[in-house]
């Protein structure tokens, strides 16, 4: 077991927003467990970048929809560093579906999106909670989506799954108080690989926003860190949407 001051666990931590969060936390002095499902090479690259910053990191493969794999992942974090101070649940999937075409929404689409986006969030928060309680001033931030606020996004099941994450965040904030603060960030349009093949749609949306810009992963990472260290905030959903929902 190696001694470090602060330990963070970031799901979906090897790419996009998750990678930016992992690097932000490393820059703030955290050892980081980068949890990934399929993006092994990117997770290892993120770990290498963190190590270049002088911080400790490791990549852990886990299907967050499978509670047993979450238990094993958290056990590896505790085995290596002996504690856990913050959890950022960022893992998510979507399906790009015409929003008005309900016939395309099959049981398989519901099952896959809810298993990762909702059940995965609960699994990670549930399994991490006993270890977070052992430390002072601990926090969880779940990455939701503005789609969960507006009801509109890449697909109807995705928007519903993220609305459920927002509700879960509020419920967990009550269930885990006073020991653990639980908040959620709801990004609007963010320039990530999710928009590959849909760049025209992304540009159109961002141009109509009051701030006339799309967020970068680093923008969201900075806001996540702010929630992690804000001692008076719990049970909140922060809209990081460049004014979309004004």
Note the CATH architecture for domain 6-240.
Answer: 3-Layer(aba) Sandwich (3.40)
243: confidence class by pLDDT, cuts 50, 70, 90? very high
Q: Which SS3 state, helix, strand or coil, does residue 28 take?
A: coil
86-89, strands of its sheet edge to edge: 57-61, 30-36, 6-11, 86-89, 138-143, 180-187, 237-240
User: Per-residue pLDDT averaged across 95-107, rounded?
Assistant: 93
Give catalytic residues, as residue numbers: 158
pLDDT in tens, 150-191: 999 889 999 999 999 999 999 999 999 999 999 999 999 888
Tell me the pTM: 0.94
| pLDDT score recorded for residue 103 | 95
Q: Which two tokens stand for residue 173?
A: 């904030």
End-to-end CA distance of the chain: 48
| pLDDT score recorded for residue 120 | 98
User: Per-residue pLDDT averaged across 39-64, rounded?
Assistant: 97
Q: Find all residues with CB under 8 Å of 208, minimum gap 6, and list them.
A: none
Mean pLDDT of the chain, nearest integer: 94
């Amino acid at each position: 077991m190696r001694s470090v001051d602060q330990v963070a666990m970031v799901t979906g931590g090897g790419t996009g927003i998750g990678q930016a969060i992992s690097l932000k936390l490393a820059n703030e002095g955290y050892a980081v467990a980068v949890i990934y499902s399929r993006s092994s090479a990117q997770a290892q690259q993120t770990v290498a970048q963190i190590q270049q910053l002088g911080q400790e990191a490791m990549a852990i493969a886990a299907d967050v929809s499978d509670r047993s794999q979450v238990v094993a992942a958290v056990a590896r974090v505790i085995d290596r560093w002996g504690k856990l101070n913050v959890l950022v649940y960022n893992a998510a999937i979507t399906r790009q579906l015409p929003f008005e075409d309900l016939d395309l929404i099959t049981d398989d689409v519901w099952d896959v999106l809810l298993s990762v986006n909702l059940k995965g969030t609960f699994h990670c928060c549930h399994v991490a909670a006993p270890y977070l309680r052992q430390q002072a001033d601990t926090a969880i931030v779940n990455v939701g989506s503005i789609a969960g606020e507006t009801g509109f996004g890449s697909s109807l099941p995705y928007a519903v799954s993220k609305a459920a994450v927002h509700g879960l965040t509020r419920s967990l904030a009550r269930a885990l108080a006073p020991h653990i603060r639980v908040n959620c960030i709801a990004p609007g349009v963010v320039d990530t690989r999710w928009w590959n093949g849909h760049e025209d749609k992304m540009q159109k949306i961002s141009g109509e926003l009051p701030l006339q810009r799309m967020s970068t992963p680093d923008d969201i990472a900075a806001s996540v860190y702010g929630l992690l260290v804000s001692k008076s905030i719990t049970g909140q959903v922060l809209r990081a949407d460049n004014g979309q929902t004004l």
